[in-house]
Amino acid sequence: MTTSLSRRSLLGRLLAGATGALATMAFGRHDMPLQGAMPAVPPDPTKVPGGPTSVLGARSAFESPERILFATASKTPLQDLHGTVTPSDLHYERHHGGVPGIDPERYTLLVHGMVERPTVFTLADLKRFPAVTRTHFLECSGNFTPNAPENITPQELCGMTSQTEWTGVPLATLFREIGADPAATWFLAEGEDAAVLARSIPVSKAWDDAMIAYAQNGEALRPCNGYPARLLLPGWEGNTNVKWLRRIELASEPFMTREETSKYTEALKNGTARQFSFVIDARSIITNPCYPERVQPGWIEFRGLAWSGRGRIATVDVSVDEGATWQRATLETPVQTKAHTRFRYLWRWDGREATVLSRATDETGYVQPTVRELVEARGPGAGPYHLNPITGWRLKPDGRVLFRTEPWA
């Protein structure tokens, strides 16, 4: 992407765009088909006083990013986002009993079971402990649909992954404070929602990198993301990161809750199912261009996200020939562990039909599988959780961008 030839060609496209813009200007106000009331935009903003200061800096009325809504979930508009931060109000949500209203002054977290000193912590107590700040993705384990149609967006396909700078207290600190019994191997994490969602978590995760998070991107958690405090298990499937956390109980065996028996287990091809499949496998997706965009021949920067629950993304490879050959994409730095990593790949499209795929590899050597490899390993009934196959986009000669995945079985 540094040859003068490539830049010159890019320039050609840009000048064409600029000409169009000048033509628009000559015809005055360009009305956009946006929803809602349009803002008062003066013909020349330099000739009238601008707006005043405000307590909160609202979005432009021309911008209206939205989560897609389902009964118990909403999805992040991945294709509308840049960089790696997910704005807090666009973080995906998933709940099993709705979003509870919790008064932070009344909130408490009970830690008990196999501990020396059962303790009730207030929110103020949690905030007084030495804090840590870590940037991690959070992904629902049910974030994929086999045999998805061509007219699907990144948000629809896998918008249940988001990224946040979390702040909280390491769970290990609390466990040391209350004297966790060395014989305790599991703990129950229980939420204060109407579902009283509960999961069994190995204590080893507490000693590793689990935290009780109370802040999200600098400020208090949003209610749909666990206000005032939630469990955060970096790299582990979303539902184990119990929101509205009210109780932790240490024990010597798992608790076998509903969410780890009837749900959140995955069928394997030998007729059995696997349980406690916590870790999110490495995955990537090209977020731009995507359906329903239209593209033109010439230089296109393919942009996407890659992430792994096992550690850092090592490489992302892009194929423009449906997987026959692969080229290395550029990763934005810093590449953080268990975090969305932005990748970019500049390619000159000649206008002929082409399929562009992305493939993530993490620092443990785990390589994102093809659909075929995934089905071979886990069977055609695999899912609905922990599906992370290679996918991509088919560029059509008419400029359409259509989702591309292999048939499931």
> 194 vs 69, 85, 96, 98, CA distance in Å?
20, 30, 8, 7
Min separation Cβ 294 and a copy of itself, Å: 12
Residue 149 as a binder of a copy of itself (CB under 8 A): the answer is no
Choose one: 28-36, 314-322, 387-395, 398-406; the region binding a copy of itself (CB under 8 A): 28-36
Min separation Cβ 122 and a copy of itself, Å: 4
Among 26, 55, 324, 353, binds a copy of itself (CB under 8 A): 55
Tell me whether residue 122 or residue 315 sits nearer to a copy of itself (CB atom). 122
Residue 82 as a binder of a copy of itself (CB under 8 A): the answer is yes
Q: What are phi and psi of 391, to 5 degrees?
A: -135, 180
Tell me whether residue 163 or residue 405 sits nearer to a copy of itself (CB atom). 163
Residue 332 as a binder of a copy of itself (CB under 8 A): the answer is yes
Tell me whether residue 16 or residue 377 sits nearer to a copy of itself (CB atom). 16
CA angle, 227 as apex, 81 and 244 as ends, to 5°? 115
Task: Count CA atoms within 13 Å of residue 61 on its CB side.
Answer: 10
Q: For residue 282, give the DSSP letter.
A: P
Choose one: 91-99, 231-239, 312-320, 391-399; the region binding a copy of itself (CB under 8 A): 91-99
Choose one: 32-40, 147-155, 261-269, 349-357; the region binding a copy of itself (CB under 8 A): 32-40
Residue 125 as a binder of a copy of itself (CB under 8 A): the answer is yes
By CB under 8 A, the residues from 255 to 294 that bind a copy of itself are none
H or E stretch covering 377: helix 371-378
Among 79, 114, 143, 193, binds a copy of itself (CB under 8 A): 193
Residue 333 and residue 341: Cα distance in Å, rounded?
A: 8
Residue 181 as a binder of a copy of itself (CB under 8 A): the answer is no
Choose one: 149-157, 223-231, 364-372, 396-404; the region binding a copy of itself (CB under 8 A): 223-231
Residue 146 and residue 216: Cα distance in Å, rounded?
A: 32
Instruction: Write the CB contacts of 198 (distance below 8 Å, at least 6 apart in sequence).
Output: 188, 189, 190, 191, 242, 255, 257, 259
Q: Are 286 and 301 in contact (CB under 8 A)?
A: no
Min separation Cβ 101 and a copy of itself, Å: 4
Min separation Cβ 42 and a copy of itself, Å: 6
CA 69 to chain CA mean position, Å: 16
Tell me whether residue 62 or residue 147 sits nearer to a copy of itself (CB atom). 62
Choose one: 55-63, 141-149, 271-279, 311-319; the region binding a copy of itself (CB under 8 A): 55-63
* Residue closest to 50 by CA, chosen among 59, 58, 41: 41
Buried b / exposed e over 155-170, threshold 16 CB at 10 Å, is bbbbbbbbbbbbbbbb
Residue 121 as a binder of a copy of itself (CB under 8 A): the answer is yes
Residue 45 as a binder of a copy of itself (CB under 8 A): the answer is yes
H or E stretch covering 208: helix 203-208
Residue 245 and residue 226: Cα distance in Å, rounded?
A: 7
Min separation Cβ 127 and a copy of itself, Å: 9
H or E stretch covering 287: strand 283-288
Among 146, 170, 228, 392, binds a copy of itself (CB under 8 A): 228
Residue 93 as a binder of a copy of itself (CB under 8 A): the answer is yes
Torsion 339-146-155-153 (CA) sign: positive
Among 26, 35, 57, 352, binds a copy of itself (CB under 8 A): 57
